[in-house]
Structure 1
Amino acid sequence: MVGLLKLKEDRPTPKAVYNWRVYTCAAIASFASCTIGYDSAFIGGTLALPSFVDEFNFASMDKDTKALLQANIVSLYQAGAFFGSLFAYVTCHFLGRRKSLFVFSAVFVLGAGLMLGASAARGLGLILGGRVLAGFGVGGMSNIVPIYCSELAPPAVRGRIVGIYELGWQLGGLVGFWINYGVNTTMQPSHRQWLIPFAVQLIPGGLLAVGALWLRESPRWLFSKGRHDQAMDNLCWIRNLPRDDVYIVEEVNYIDEDLERYKREVGVGFWKPFAALKQRKVQWRFFLGGMLFFWQNGSGINAINYYSPTVFNSIGITGTNAALLTTGIFGVVKTITTIVWLLCLIDYLGRRKLLLGGAVGGSLCMWFIGAYIKIADTANRPVGSALDGGGIAAIFFFYLWTVFYTPSWNGTPWVLNSEMFDQNTRALGQASAAANNWFWNFIVSRFTPQMFLKMGYGVYFFFASLMILSVVFTYFLVPETKAIPLEHMDRLFAIRPVRKANDDIMEELRLADEEFRHAVEGVDLSERKEKVEMKETV
């Protein structure tokens, strides 16, 4: 157990590096993901509240019209997020990470405020418009926060630091899932009842806007802009070490070498990273980053997040309260497993093992749920009938699916995309990855109601099949990035086969670190390195 929970460091790291400052910066920035998680969780339940249904006259609509309207309310948010994630590349380049966070949080707050003006008299226009604007804000934040966290984090705990972003997502989601149950059980149906879940969006958005004023700018961004003194001040503050500490000297040396190499190979400027897309190695990582989010959304998670009452009704749970309660428990399971993922898995087991194990286990659960719905014919079951043994088993497998999915495909693609690009293409690469996330998110949220109407149990078989295909993709194409410094990702992605790449790089880093430290101390390690190379050859 001690070996399992031992951090894998790329070089000897002072304990001062793992300090409260890096965790606090990540936590404040992750108020952004609280807004995203809350929105993804609350909207499906709020649309199902009797007060919302009555105010906007959903009961008079036929099934297809109602499904289309609900899909539009949900999916306009993803459409706005798609464009926001791309525009964040512009602000990140010119304003940096910190100021960009403030700008997009302000846009989100404006959009969330607009939704509060909707009513039966005014119609749904303000909700639809506010959803687009709020989506634009969270799209930008979903681009910026993982980059910011990864650039601040020491390599050994980078998964954990970026994982705080995912934890914020789940905490926001937990509140979002339960708030609808709370207002539905404690309040009479009214305009105020459904307005409260919309108003709560303002809390994490406002906290982020205020917290962004305290954050320090990313040292790597400052170095890339030639602001060396400020970059050194921020780096030393975050690492809690003096400028002359060997760890700081070595880290700055890595950053400078990486920047110089990209000045030679790519160049510096707003459009230069686009020119870098001509390189096959850059194209490959953009492809991998986008596909990770295709497989993530192909698991079915956002169909469940946005339409959880519909999902539980398909299994056989009837009634608004029962569906909201079951959804709330789903949120609890996700949050608990996210904490375990953050503290005990992502930086110890690594990215590849989690993705592979989560996909296999999650797929098996989906096959069982789909088979039960087919055999039990839950669509034709009398309203109010109790779940049989098979139905209880299906609910169990649904929660088991959550246990497999959450510590694997839920947050790990964000970690991988935050660390797999070089300094000059990191903002553009993350913009591409975030845009892919929101694009596939939009597709799922837009067509899920129609899929359940037309496919029934086949929806679960569809998602189960995609999860199995993701196993093949991950095993052959995705290298392990655990503990690898950001400046060595180019080398990592060049090694074949990918399953051995991490071990090869870690050995190279160990030798390079020993050579660097002995060079600083005036000792030549060339003879020792030759012996190691001769031993490896033998």
Structure 2
Amino acid sequence: MTAHAESAAEADLPPLTSGPHRSRIGVISVVACLGGLLFGYDTGVANGAEGPMARELGLSLLQLGVVISALLFAAAIGALVGGIISDAIGRRKTILILAVLFFVGVLLVVFSPAGPEPGTFSATGFATLVAGRIVLGLAVGGASTVVPVFLAELAPFEIRGSITGRNELAIVVGQLSAFVVNAILGTTLGHVDGVWRIMFAVCALPAVALFIGMLRMPESPRWLVEKGRNDEALAVLKTVRSEDRALAEIAQVELIANQEKESHQIGIRAIMASKWLRRIIFVGIGVCITQQLTGINSIMYYGTRVLEESGMGEEEAVLANIAFGVVAVIGGIIALRNMDRIDRRKTFMIGLTLTTTFHCLVGVASMLLPAGNPARPYVILVLVVGFVLSMQTFLNVAVWVWLAEVFPLHMRGLGIGMAVFFCWVTNGILGLYFPTLVATIGITGSFFLFAGIGVVALLFVYTQVPETRGRSLEALEEDVSTGQIYVGLR
């Protein structure tokens, strides 16, 4: 099945037109994507802040691992709970709550007390720091679930990929910002105790901006219809569509919502009663785990360690690490241009083929160039940059867009929350054990392991992942609920 087999649902909608409503979608996406920016900064800032933080607070390697991974495991809970809450109280209110959590988490981290002397351990400081990272994790996980759904439900299907994909671009912009801020502060104020606190404090500003901005943003019209607030939903749609398009679209949304209510099968009850809904949940979980097992976030969190392991000096590695952030942003921009032009399945297949190839090349290079060879760190740097560029261009943006559009309205928050829960659990396990993995089997073994997983992931996508591009959310919902979406899969 391809996205080009347009159903009657899409054919019945008037075409998109230009005007103030198109600009309004742009403004909404910019404000909502501050959540993605915070997501990126808070996950990337540790890649550079961990060293001075551990030295000042007297943290052992295990304690440092707990601090780093606390955010990731909390994000798993935040993704699941955030999705459920957004189904209950709305996407907009949930994002406002997340903005508050981002701000509170930053305060806890920044004001974590040090020991009586620099370098001495403080149980209170450690507990406060971990608590702050947990609060930030809840916010990051919630944002990873709710922001893409909010954007997907507001965007017209013709440009849904590029609108929803802006959140992933914002994430990598946030990570790049963290790398640049860390590098600047590390080189200018690296001798100052507490420089890591400034690195974390920077993201308080976008948290405030997200809260203030979302106060002026509308609620998702599809969520409003789900709650029976049809007049409010139409009013919102008229601000982001032409008059005739808004009327036609609201009619389709209302029709699907009424059919769901008449069947008395919504949310978790519907999932338990339908093999097709259970299947799409498992496929969503598989897509999330596949994305994480490429090892992309291990590079975004521990890129400097990988470069140091390859033979690069500490300061040089911190500066070179910025390259990962730069190519991630470049890849995100390319991905947005392609998101409404290339099918999701094809994008996944290209991305996994490229990332698996670069994994093999890194493994081969680290075998052929022994430790001490002056070319070794630079060859590995170029190959890892190629991996990050491939990942961002073809996989990261596409995965989050696909997740935001594939689940039916009555379970969308719950569905993406369940899938992303496993995404963050996998992320957390890698974040906790990746340094140990590299120390145990080296760069060679680590990247060959990722390559083997990539081959399995390609087979999974080819046989299990359905296409979603070029379809309205309502048409997708009907095909997912009946199993029609799997027709044509190999």
Is 1:346 aligned to 2:339, yes or no? yes
Q: 2-side partners of 1:340 and 1:424: how far apart? A: 33
1:483 paired residue number? 470
Determine which of 294, 297, 316 is the counterpart of 2:289: 294
Match for residue 44 of structure 2? 41
C-alpha distance in structure 2 between counterparts of 1:360 and 1:207, whole Å: 39
Q: Could you tell me whether the CA contact under 8 Å between 2:47 and 2:300 is conserved in 1?
A: yes
Alignment partner, residue 78 of structure 2: 84
Give, in whole Å, the separation in 2 of the partners of 1:473 and 1:355.
11
Match 2:303 to one of 296, 303, 308: 308
- 1:323 is matched with 317
Which residue number in structure 1 is paired with residue 108 of structure 2? Answer: 114
2:489 and 2:281 map into 1 onto residues whose CA distance is 21
Aligned equivalents of 1:161, 1:496: Cα separation in 2: 23
Aligned counterpart, 2:87: 93
TM-score between both structures, scaled by the size of structure 1: 0.83
Which of 377, 380, 383 is the matching residue for 1:397? 383
1:470 is the counterpart of 2:457: yes
- 1:362 to 2:355 alignment: yes
**2:447 aligned residue:** 460
SS at the partner of 2:273? Answer: coil
Q: Deviations over 1:420-456 (max 9, x none)?
A: 0111111110111221221111111111111112121
Does the aligned pair in 2 maintain the 1:314–1:373 contact within 8 Å? no
Decide whether aligned partners of structure 1 residues 150 and 267 sit closer, same or farther in structure 2, where only a CA change above 3 A counts: same
Output one character per residue of 1:280-322: Cα deviation in whole Å (capped at 9) or x when no partner: 0000110111111101110011111111111112222122x21
Structure-1 residue corresponding to 2:126: 124
Give 1:126 shift.
Answer: 1.6
Q: Deviations over 1:178-217 (max 9, x none)?
A: 1111111112422242111110121222211111101100
Cα displacement (A) at 1:391: 4.1
- Aligned partner letter, 1:199: A
Alignment of 1:106-255 (within 5 A): 106-121=100-115, 122=122, 123-239=125-241, 241-242=242-243, 245=244, 247-255=245-253
Inter-partner Cα distance in structure 2 for 1:496 and 1:225: 26
TM-score with structure 2 setting the length: 0.91
User: What is the match of residue 69 of structure 1?
Assistant: 63
- State whether residues 85 and 139 of structure 1, in contact with CA within 8 Å, keep that contact through their aligned partners in structure 2: yes
Q: Is the 8 A contact 1:105 1:138 kept in 2?
A: no
Give me the whole-angstrom Cα distance separating, in 2, the residues matched to 1:485 and 1:256.
14
Pair 1:14 & 2:16 matched: yes
Letter in 2 for 1:495: Q
Residue 492 of structure 1, CA deviation:
3.9
Q: Letter of the aligned partner of 1:107 in structure 2?
A: L
Kindly state the Cα deviation for residue 134 of structure 1 after the two structures are TM-superposed. Answer: 1.1
List per-residue Cα deviations over 1:375-394 (Å, max 9, x = no partner).
Answer: 3343xx3xxxx732x54332
Q: Which moved more, 1:81-90 or 1:327-336?
A: 81-90
Q: Which residue of 2 aligns with 1:259?
A: 257
Aligned to 1:432: 418
Alpha-carbon offset, residue 251 of structure 1: 1.1
> For the residues of structure 2 that align with 1:250 and 1:99, how far apart are their CA atoms?
27
How far the C-alpha of 1:25 sits from its partner, in A, is 0.9
The answer (yes or no) to whether the contact 2:291–2:395 under 8 Å persists in 1 is yes
Q: Is contact 1:476-1:499 (8 Å) kept? A: no
- Structure 1 distance, partners of 2:283, 2:213, is 33
Q: What SS does the aligned partner of 1:264 have?
A: helix
Give the aligned residue type for 1:104: L
> Which whole-Å CA distance do the structure 2 matches of 1:288 and 1:266 have between them?
24
| CA shift digits 1:493-518 (9 cap, x unpaired) | 423765579xxxxxxxxxxxxxxxxx
Change (3 A) 1:497 1:142: closer
Q: Which string of whole-angstrom CA distances, capped at 9 and with x for unpartnered residues, describes residues 41-82 of structure 1?
A: 11021113xx43431335xxxxxx51x222211110012111
Aligned residue pairs: how many? 468
| Map of 1:57 onto structure 2 | 58
Closer/same/farther in 2, CA of residues 140 and 188 from structure 1, 3 Å limit: closer
Aligned equivalents of 1:439, 1:52: Cα separation in 2: 24
Q: Distance in 1 between matches of 2:295 and 2:83?
A: 28
> Unaligned stretches of 5+ in structure 1?
1-8, 59-64, 502-538
For 2:31 and 2:161, the matched residues in 1 are separated by 17
The alignment partner of 1:387 has SS state of coil
Q: 1:436 to 1:328 in 2, by over 3 A?
A: same
Contact 1:292 1:413 in 2 (8 A): yes
Does 2:484 align with 1:495?
yes
User: Contact 1:266–1:273 (CA<8 Å) still a contact in 2?
Assistant: no
Gaps of 5+ in 2: 1-9, 116-121
| Equivalent-residue separation in structure 2 for 1:490 and 1:217 (angstroms) | 21
Percentage of pairs with the same residue: 27
- Are 1:285 and 2:280 counterparts? yes
- Correspondent of 1:372 among 361, 365, 368: 365
Query: What is the DSSP-based 3-state SS (H/G/I as helix, E as strand, rest coil) of the residue aligned with 1:347?
Result: coil
Q: Would you say the 8 A contact 1:45–1:308 is kept in 2? A: no
The CA deviation string for residues 243-291 of structure 1, in whole angstroms up to 9 with x for no partner, is xx2x2332122112211221133445xxx43443331000011011111
Deviates more, 1:195-204 or 1:152-161: 195-204
Write the letter of the residue equivalent to 1:285. Answer: I
What RMSD in Å do the two structures reach over aligned CA positions? 2.0
> 2: CA distance between counterparts of 1:24 and 1:387?
49
How far apart are the structure 1 equivalents of 2:179 and 2:43?
Answer: 9
Distance between the aligned counterparts of 1:188 and 1:298, measured in 2?
34
Give 1:412's aligned residue. 398
Distance between the aligned counterparts of 2:377 and 2:147, measured in 1? 40
Higher relative contact order (CA 8 A, sep 6+): 2
- After TM superposition, the structure 1 stretch with the greater mean CA deviation from structure 2, 487-496 or 120-129, is 487-496
Return the letter of the residue paired with 2:355: G
